[in-house]
Amino acid sequence: MKINDNDPRLLAWSALVESFWLVIRAIEANIKNRTPLSLEEYDLLLGVSRSRNAKIRLSDLAEVTTLTRSGVTRIVDRLVDRGLVSKEECAEDRRGAFAVLTDAGREAMKETWREYSREILKNFGENFSRAEAEHLQELLERVIGSLRGTSLVKIGRSSTQKRGIRKSNSKT
CATH top-level class for 8-162?
A: mainly alpha
The stretches of the chain forming alpha helices (DSSP H) are: 8-31, 39-50, 58-61, 69-81, 103-123, 130-148, 159-162
CA atoms within 13 A on the CB side of 139: 10
Q: Which of 115, 171, 164, 118 is nearest to 147 (CA)?
A: 171
**Measured between alpha carbons, how far is residue 31 from residues 27, 74, 109, 115 in Å?**
6, 21, 13, 7
Residue 53: left (phi > 0), alpha (psi -120 to 50), or beta? Answer: left
* pLDDT single digits (tens) 113-148: 999 999 999 999 999 999 999 999 999 999 989 987
Domain ranges of the chain: 8-162
pLDDT, mean over the chain: 86
* pLDDT single digits (tens) 29-49: 999 999 999 999 999 999 999
**Rounded mean pLDDT of 142-156?**
70
Say what the pLDDT of residue 7 is. Answer: 93
Say what the pLDDT of residue 152 is. Answer: 52
* pLDDT single digits (tens) 53-103: 999 998 888 888 888 888 898 999 999 999 999 999 887 777 788 999 999
Tell me: pLDDT of 164 over 80.
Answer: no
Which stretch, 64-68, 106-110, 147-151, has highest mean pLDDT? 106-110
